Copies of this chain bind each other. A is one copy, B any other.
Amino acid sequence: MKTLRRPKIRDQVANQIQQYIVSEKLGPGDRLPTESKLAETFGISRMSLREATKALEFLGIVESKAGVGLTVRCIDMERLTEHLSFHAGLLEADPQQLIDSRVILETGVLPHVVQRMKKDPAIEAGLREIVRQFESARDLKTFIAIDIQFHRSLLEASGLQPLVAFGDLLHVFFQRFRESVKKAGWKEGVESHRRLIDHLAAGNLDKATAELRKHIESHKERS
């Protein structure tokens, strides 16, 4: 039997504030009542209310400026991944699951990428430009950064925003064992990316999928 803790005031208040935002149909930029007013409304001290609002501010739900007050804010995906990345070090994730997830995600968007490539030549140009940057990479850190950018661009090329966000999250967890890439793998990695684009440009979906799958799964042996 677990000792059920008394629900903390600030959590209740934080929820109440969120409900207030919804019920009043407030959107980004709209103002909330002052801290004093809110505290009085909820029947708590201003300090306790602040702990709730500060938490919401940290989550990117509201913004507070001295002399102005509280305003509703739009969500900030960057902020989210930023905090998630902190957990990456603590969290344990099965490398095989991460690899499989990436394969599904990235090979899944390829049909969309091929389709959009036909309409917009800038997509292919952008990807090829990144591959060129690979060749000038001098150290591992740069190489990894470019690799991440390439795969992100690939997802972006699909035009599916949600999957881009998911890709970012996966990369955060990937980071840890990504650094095990050997220098020997560099050249092959660059070539692999180039072949992938060639297949995509030619509309050869099957070959592109196989190439990408092989590339991602090559992380397995290195870990």
Stretch at the interface among A46-54, A117-125, A140-148: A46-54
Q: Provide the residues of chain B in CB contact with A11, threshold 8 Å.
A: 58
A87 and B104 within 8 A (CB): no
User: Smallest CB-CB separation from A19: which chain B residue?
Assistant: B86
Q: Provide the residues of chain B in CB contact with A27, threshold 8 Å.
A: 90
Q: Is A28 an interface residue (CB 8 A)?
A: yes
Q: Is A136 an interface residue (CB 8 A)?
A: no
Given A108-B105, A160-B101, decide whether A84 and B75 contact each other with a Cβ distance below 8 A.
yes
Q: Is A59 an interface residue (CB 8 A)?
A: yes
B75 and A162 within 8 A (CB): no
Q: Is A181 an interface residue (CB 8 A)?
A: no
Stretch at the interface among A36-44, A91-99, A187-195, A198-206: A91-99
Chain A positions 1-21 with a Cβ under 8 Å from a chain B Cβ: 5, 10-11, 14, 18
A14 and B58 within 8 A (CB): yes
Instruction: Give the dominant DSSP class at A's interface.
Output: helix
For the complex of A and B, 5 pairs with smallest distance between CB atoms: A104-B108, A55-B58, A75-B87, A51-B54, A101-B162
- CA gap between A214 and B169 in the complex, in Å: 28
Tell me the minimal C-beta distance from A65 to chain B in angstroms: 7
User: Smallest CB-CB separation from A102: which chain B residue?
Assistant: B162
Number of copies: 2
Residue ranges of A at the interface with B (Cβ–Cβ < 8 Å) = 5, 10-11, 14, 18, 22, 27-28, 47, 50-51, 54-59, 61, 65, 72, 74-75, 80, 83-84, 86-87, 89-91, 93-94, 97-98, 100-101, 104-105, 107-109, 112, 159-163, 166, 169-170, 173
- CA gap between A121 and B134 in the complex, in Å: 47
Tell me the minimal C-beta distance from A214 to chain B in angstroms: 16
Q: Provide the residues of chain B in CB contact with A61, threshold 8 Å.
A: 83, 86-87
- CA gap between A75 and B178 in the complex, in Å: 22
Could you say which of A28, A61, A100 has the most chain B C-beta atoms within 10 Å of its C-beta?
Answer: A100
